[in-house]
Structure 1
Amino acid sequence: MALSEMQRVHSPVDPVLYPLLAVVLITLGLLFTASFFIYEVTSSKFSRNIVRELATGGVASVLLGFGSLFLLLWTGVYV
């Protein structure tokens, strides 16, 4: 296959949006992390709900993971 026949690979997200996505996702991730921490500190040992803990921790983890990815892309570290 010749080079002229190949198609370019384009990012599914416009690179102009990397800074906005990084800031928004990291901010939301930190808010969910703070919510998780406050829930753990203020609830008693017997009133905790494992489903709520896993859901809050999972959402925080996903948001911080994608936020970190877009932060790396924003700074020029292409992963």
Structure 2
Amino acid sequence: MAPKPVTSPVPEAWYPTLAVLMIAVGLIITASFFIYEATTSRKNRSLATELTRGAVASVFLGFGSLFLLLASGVYV
């Protein structure tokens, strides 16, 4: 029985689009995080809100960077 080749679950043609989209969303969420930090007083800040925004921005920027590398031919 011949082994089945490993393929990406996402078509390669989508890599540039996904990279731009995910990095843009990640930067927007990062901007909202900084705006939240600058406009909210220290006693009214919520740790859960900060962690959630930071984690979501990190996930989007991480996957956006991954797709950017894949789109440019660096297979990681």
TM-score of the aligned structures, taking structure 2 as reference length: 0.96
Unaligned runs of 5+ residues in structure 2 are: none
- State the alpha-carbon separation in 2 of the partners of residues 74 and 34 from structure 1: 25
Shift of 1:8: 1.2
Shift of 1:27: 0.2
- Across the aligned residues of Structure 1 and Structure 2, the Cα RMSD in angstroms comes to 0.9
SS in 2 for 1:11: coil
Q: What is the aligned partner in structure 1 of residue 20 from structure 2? A: 23
Q: What is the aligned partner in structure 2 of residue 50 from structure 1? A: 47
* 1:1-55 Cα shifts (integer Å, max 9, x gaps): 7xxx222111111000000100000000000000000000111110101110000
Structure having the higher Rg: 1
Percent of counterpart pairs with the same letter? Answer: 59
TM-score of the aligned structures, taking structure 1 as reference length: 0.93
Unaligned runs of 5+ residues in structure 1 are: none
SS in 1 for 2:75: coil
